[in-house]
Structure 1
Amino acid sequence: MANNCDDLPDECWELIFNRFDHHSHLESLSLSSKKFLTIINGLRTHFTILNPTIFIHGNLSKLFHRFTHIKSIDVSSFRGNLDRVILEIAKSDLKVETLNVSKNNRLPLEGLKVLGSNMKSLRVLNCANLSKFCDIELFTIANSMPWLEELDISYPRNNLGSGFEMQRLNVAELGVTNYGIELLSLKLRGLRKINISGNPFLTNNSLMALSSNCVFLKEIEFLHCPFITQLGIEFVMCNSPNLCSVSVDGIQIPSPMYMNAIDFTFARGLSSVEIHESVISDELLHSLAKAGIPLRRFTLAYCSNFTFFGILSILSTYQSLEYLAFIDVGFLTDKHMSDLCRYLCTLITIKLKLCSKLTDSTFFTLAKNCPFLKDIDMERANLGGGDGTADIVKNSRIMSLNLAYNSNLSDECLRKLASICPNVELLDVSSCLGITEKGVAEFLKGDSKIRHLHINDCLGIKNIGTGFELPKLEVLQAARSGIDDEGLAIIGNRCCRLLNFDLEGCVGATKVGLMEIFTNCKILREINLNGCVNVSTVFVDWMVFSKPSLRKLVPPRLSLITESQRELFLRHGCLVCDGYSSKRYVQE
């Protein structure tokens, strides 16, 4: 007798449910049985709060009671009452380990104090890109959460105002200072990772304090800090015994002040090195090659004064690299990459952005010689500009392709790439003006694995081609493309699991095509119609009330939506907002 499926242990069901691509796919299963509901609730460990409707009828506290295993909360795209959210988190019984409050306004300091006193489990705090972040915020974090292990305070958007206004304020009111970092380093003795990039008042003293007081420090990022020099970098190398990752910029070699290259031999555990916007020499790259460190990740971005032979010394020495990024290395050619590929047999991710001499020949070479490669980024290269004679070998491991801004990319080239990469899940061909729906359709035929498709600014693409359903496609970014009503009908018929749809500036879209989307895309959560001039704002009412799953909508013109209408839509569960606050389209 066959065993009843209800008798299967919960652990077996967890293994099954964990193989689903997205938590939204489990919603219908959670409704079919109380047992499934309990198991699925326990599997949810990450929670993204996007919508102010979360407070209606106490929904946020109810969700925290339902999903009791939440470890990570992201409020970076939340545009409501952040103080209230932080207090709700603090009052919950969750054991949150990671909190992302980036891209918000000033931190709710009182809420952070309560959070610190109630939630000792918190280890990771992301405060990047806040509108206001100064020493007072840093002091509150240091005093309230001394057990933090990872902190990101990068790129605050502090408005420094005019010179006269700056004179009336002390430096501590303008941004983070050395004093703030020194106090933080004394409080957060267990700190393992910190990003202080984009804080203009910090100097070498901040690096010295962090290296001296935070003995467990493993990763440090300090890009775009103009007063941090090579002396500070060398101090970090010599005095952080556990350092495994460093991101630096502004190195000026050769320079009368620094005649010698940085000595990497002191940082024996260094596995990731990123060098940005620096004047470096082959001597520095040779020094890194001779250091004998366990390098796994290497980045050169917007640097100058080095040659192919400097790169060759790095790659020939460290043949176990998993991540490699060359950004704006203009001298690289297909021949160079062919020579380098022999050393890249363990590579998983490669970024070759703004390398304008690299063509599809380099792509074919990478696919053939890098058997573990998953992610290829060749944005603003010269794909389509090669002779097309290279060997074409299928690589089933490649899952992500960023090919945006390749002006020579053609449908024929896309056809070849699709034959090489049959399992691609993310394809970005934005601003590739030479392609049409025929090229994109090559990636969408058969058993397509595509989950994210970006065709922004592709006027030649009017639809995504006909064929079978695309049940895995969840995110479609088609802003300012040629998508019209006929294309919308095709999308509605093929993309039954579509979650997020960006149609900003698509003048060919009208009510007729959108009705196909809203009728057939049963679980649509977000749609952007900003600038769709042929869609009437009156139609917004129908969209909101006909689609219970809809959580965010950007109307053709927000100015025509009254405040009372927005409140009504919000009570219905849909946030109607402007284009700026809707730029995040990928659900966690």
Structure 2
Amino acid sequence: MVFSNNDEGLINKKLPKELLLRIFSFLDIVTLCRCAQISKAWNILALDGSNWQRIDLFNFQTDVEGRVVENISKRCGGFLRKLSLRGCIGVGDSSLKTFAQNCRNIEHLNLNGCTKITDSTCYSLSRFCSKLKHIQNYCHELVSLNLQSCSRITDEGVVQICRGCHRLQALCLSGCSNLTDASLTALGLNCPRLQILEAARCSHLTDAGFTLLARNCHELEKMDLEECILITDSTLIQLSIHCPQLQALSLSHCELITDDGILHLSNSTCGHERLRVLELDNCLLITDVALEHLENCRGLERLELYDCQQVTRAGIKRMRAQLPHVKVHAYFAPVTPPTAVAGSGQRLCRCCVIL
């Protein structure tokens, strides 16, 4: 595209800026850069951020350095929606931090082959790019991923992660409230090395999902299932059978768990040999019978029993006689005073004990 100064000036006079920008929006980045060299007016038009919503730098991968990405981010700002840095081995964490700070509306990002990036880039993207939907398809070496409170994450995203990250060992999904058993199924079928799963407040997960997970992920060591309100003793039975490495388990607010589930857990290999921490806060069906079962867990170090209303001081005392090293955190409602005392203006207090 070659114009004389007169031709270029005539176009600028005949066509409004909005129409010229529209024309420029159809050009690839090479042509845009060439147009930017025609004149000062076209430089402004060609480098307008609205023309740089989708950028693929694969054809220039050997030439692209960090400063190129930084300059692009400053030019495009909030306009940029899609960027491919596939094969750009010269781009590192520092440049991508600047990019993340400037391009907060980015939705698609391809970092395949960017060998210089580390966890720092993941932190920058998670902190600044809340609209990011698609990132790096090939993360075969990924072992740890924290998606805590990413409330817009759905099963589709988790399934894709699991299919591409077979070496995953630790996954935090706590607060991802839209997830269902489809995510647990994907984990079970694709991530056999999983050791840590945090799924607190994922209230749609059920026994069916955890059954498949337990039957395939035998290396599980830590699970946070707080407020997974649909699970029952069936989940504990499957964990007892298939997950002998289990060391820490949170079942707080899982109100369908009963003494029978604790019986299976305490009689299992993990109960006898591995279990160190068990959280049962607000498990309303748990009684002193569960504490008797837990006497089999010789390695137990900490037990949480806040608001377990059917557990008594006597029951805790009997268990600690067998397991004196266990720290038990419990809550007991204060004894209601006589009416005359209650009406005298004195305050009633909660009574927490650490035994």
TM over 0.5: yes
Alignment partner, residue 117 of structure 2: 321
**Is contact 1:322–1:348 with CA below 8 Å preserved after alignment?**
no
Alignment partner, residue 157 of structure 2: 362
Alignment partner, residue 429 of structure 1: 199
Question: Which amino acid is the alignment partner of residue 265 of structure 2?
Answer: I
Bigger Rg, structure 1 or 2: 2
Question: Which amino acid is the alignment partner of residue 501 of structure 1?
Answer: L
Output the CA distance in 2 between the equivalents of 1:526 and 1:297.
45
Alignment partner, residue 104 of structure 2: 306
Is the alpha carbon distance of 1:412 and 1:429 closer, same or farther for their aligned partners in structure 2, counting shifts above 3 Å?
Answer: same
Structure with more relative contact order (C-alpha pairs < 8 Å, separation 6 or more): 2
Alignment partner, residue 347 of structure 2: none
Alignment partner, residue 237 of structure 2: 465
Output the CA distance in 1 between the equivalents of 2:105 and 2:90.
21
Paired residues for 1:377-396 under 5 Å: 395=166
Output the CA distance in 2 between the equivalents of 1:350 and 1:296.
21
* 1:451 is the counterpart of 2:221: yes
Is the alpha carbon distance of 1:304 and 1:532 closer, same or farther for their aligned partners in structure 2, counting shifts above 3 Å?
Answer: farther
Question: Which amino acid is the alignment partner of residue 260 of structure 2?
Answer: E
* 1:492 is the counterpart of 2:266: yes
- Write out per-residue CA displacement over residues 314-348 of structure 1, whole angstroms, 9 at most, x where no aligned residue: x3684443422443744233xx33xx325x56555
CA root-mean-square deviation:
4.1
Shift of 1:444: 2.0
Output the CA distance in 2 between the equivalents of 1:297 and 1:402.
27
Shift of 1:499: 0.7
* 1:528 is the counterpart of 2:304: yes
Alignment partner, residue 504 of structure 1: 281
Output the CA distance in 1 between the equivalents of 2:216 and 2:226.
24
Is the alpha carbon distance of 1:332 and 1:416 closer, same or farther for their aligned partners in structure 2, counting shifts above 3 Å?
Answer: same
2:200 match: secondary structure: coil
- Write out per-residue CA displacement over residues 494-548 of structure 1, whole angstroms, 9 at most, x where no aligned residue: 2222111111111111011221122x21211111111111111222221221113
Paired residues for 1:11-26 under 5 Å: none
Paired residues for 1:188-267 under 5 Å: none
Alignment partner, residue 290 of structure 2: 513
**Is contact 1:319–1:345 with CA below 8 Å preserved after alignment?**
no
Alignment partner, residue 295 of structure 1: 93
Paired residues for 1:55-454 under 5 Å: 281=77, 294-295=92-93, 306-308=104-106, 312=109, 315=111, 318-323=114-119, 324-325=122-123, 326-327=125-126, 329-333=129-133, 336-337=134-135, 340-342=136-138, 344=139, 347-370=142-165, 395=166, 397-445=167-215, 448-454=218-224
**Is contact 1:296–1:320 with CA below 8 Å preserved after alignment?**
no
Is the alpha carbon distance of 1:347 and 1:522 closer, same or farther for their aligned partners in structure 2, counting shifts above 3 Å?
Answer: closer
Question: Which amino acid is the alignment partner of residue 155 of structure 2?
Answer: D
Shift of 1:292: 5.2
**Is contact 1:426–1:453 with CA below 8 Å preserved after alignment?**
yes
2:223 match: secondary structure: strand
Aligned residues: 251
Shift of 1:409: 2.3
Question: Which amino acid is the alignment partner of residue 471 of structure 1?
Answer: P
2:237 match: secondary structure: coil
Question: Which amino acid is the alignment partner of residue 160 of structure 2?
Answer: T
Question: Which amino acid is the alignment partner of residue 543 of structure 1?
Answer: M
Output the CA distance in 2 between the equivalents of 1:322 and 1:435.
32
Output the CA distance in 1 between the equivalents of 2:281 and 2:253.
6
Output the CA distance in 1 between the equivalents of 2:312 and 2:299.
23
2:293 match: secondary structure: helix
**Is contact 1:404–1:432 with CA below 8 Å preserved after alignment?**
yes
**Is contact 1:509–1:535 with CA below 8 Å preserved after alignment?**
yes
**Is contact 1:469–1:493 with CA below 8 Å preserved after alignment?**
no
**Is contact 1:320–1:345 with CA below 8 Å preserved after alignment?**
no
- Write out per-residue CA displacement over residues 332-376 of structure 1, whole angstroms, 9 at most, x where no aligned residue: 33xx33xx325x565554444454444333333334445xxxxxx
Output the CA distance in 1 between the equivalents of 2:184 and 2:176.
11
Alignment partner, residue 330 of structure 2: 555
* 1:478 is the counterpart of 2:251: yes
**Is contact 2:194–2:217 with CA below 8 Å preserved after alignment?**
no
Output the CA distance in 2 between the equivalents of 1:351 and 1:297.
22
Question: Which amino acid is the alignment partner of residue 292 of structure 2?
Answer: M
Is the alpha carbon distance of 1:322 and 1:364 closer, same or farther for their aligned partners in structure 2, counting shifts above 3 Å?
Answer: farther
In the alignment, which of 534, 537, 541 is matched to residue 317 of structure 2? 541
**Is contact 2:149–2:174 with CA below 8 Å preserved after alignment?**
no
Q: Which residues of structure 2 form unaligned runs of 5+?
A: 1-64, 67-75, 336-350
Alignment partner, residue 35 of structure 1: none
Output the CA distance in 2 between the equivalents of 1:412 and 1:368.
13
Is the alpha carbon distance of 1:364 and 1:460 closer, same or farther for their aligned partners in structure 2, counting shifts above 3 Å?
Answer: closer
Q: Percent identity?
A: 22
**Is contact 1:330–1:355 with CA below 8 Å preserved after alignment?**
no
Is the alpha carbon distance of 1:365 and 1:297 closer, same or farther for their aligned partners in structure 2, counting shifts above 3 Å?
Answer: farther
Question: Which amino acid is the alignment partner of residue 332 of structure 2?
Answer: R
Question: Which amino acid is the alignment partner of residue 554 of structure 1?
Answer: H
**Is contact 1:322–1:349 with CA below 8 Å preserved after alignment?**
no
Output the CA distance in 2 between the equivalents of 1:352 and 1:547.
37
Task: Give TM-score, length-normalised by structure 2.
Answer: 0.58
Q: Which residues of structure 1 form unaligned runs of 5+?
A: 1-267, 270-279, 371-394, 561-576, 583-588
Question: Which amino acid is the alignment partner of residue 228 of structure 2?
Answer: C
